[in-house]
Amino acid sequence: MSYYEATLLEEHVQIALDELERASGLSIEVITELVEYGVFQPQGERPHEWRFAARCIAVGRTARRLGADFELSTPGVALALSLIERIEELEREVRALQAQALRG
């Protein structure tokens, strides 16, 4: 039996709008709104030219879960996502400081 390749959801891998729609479970309308709110920042001018970082799949899936589980509107989802992103940044900083600090 062969192994299946797992791909990293990172910045350097790019995906098109229909792939993001399929993988995140968000509708094109909601994705477009989230682009307007700056949650997703695709390269390209028009929707059919948009290229998203693969990381957007993970963000999109979180958006779908938050929207469905808390019955949030898209602006509410955008706000929650930006707060989650800030928390993740702070957690990264804490981890960096912990890694540098000497063990007690």
Partner 1 sequence: MKYKDYYKILGVDRTASEDVIKKAYRKLARKYHPDVSKEKNAEEQFKEVQEAYEVLKDADKRKAYDQMGFYQPGQEFNPPPGWDQQFHSGGAGGFQDLGDVDLFDLLSGLGGGGFRGARQGGGGRAFRMPGQDYEVTAHISVEDAARGTELEIPIAATEVTEGGQLRRTTRAVKVRIPKGVTDGQRLRVPGKGGPGIGGAPDGDLYVDIQLRPHDIFRVNGHDLYLELPVAPWEAALGAEVQVPTLDGRISVKVPPGSRAGQKLRVRGKGLPKPGSGEGDLYAVLQVVTPSVLSEREKQLYRELQAASSFNPRGHFE
Q: Which residues bind partner 1 (CB under 8 A)?
A: 1-10, 12, 22-23, 25, 54, 57-58, 61-62, 65-66, 69-70, 80, 84, 92, 95-96, 98-100, 102-103
The answer to whether 14 and 54 have CB atoms below 8 angstroms apart is yes
Distance, in Å, from the CA atom of 63 to the CA atom of 48, rounded to the nearest integer, reads: 22
The minimum distance between CB 27 and partner 1, in angstroms, equals 14
For partner 1, the closer CB: 7 or 29: 7
For partner 1, the closer CB: 1 or 46: 1
The answer to whether 61 and 55 have CB atoms below 8 angstroms apart is no
Distance, in Å, from the CA atom of 58 to the CA atom of 80, rounded to the nearest integer, reads: 14
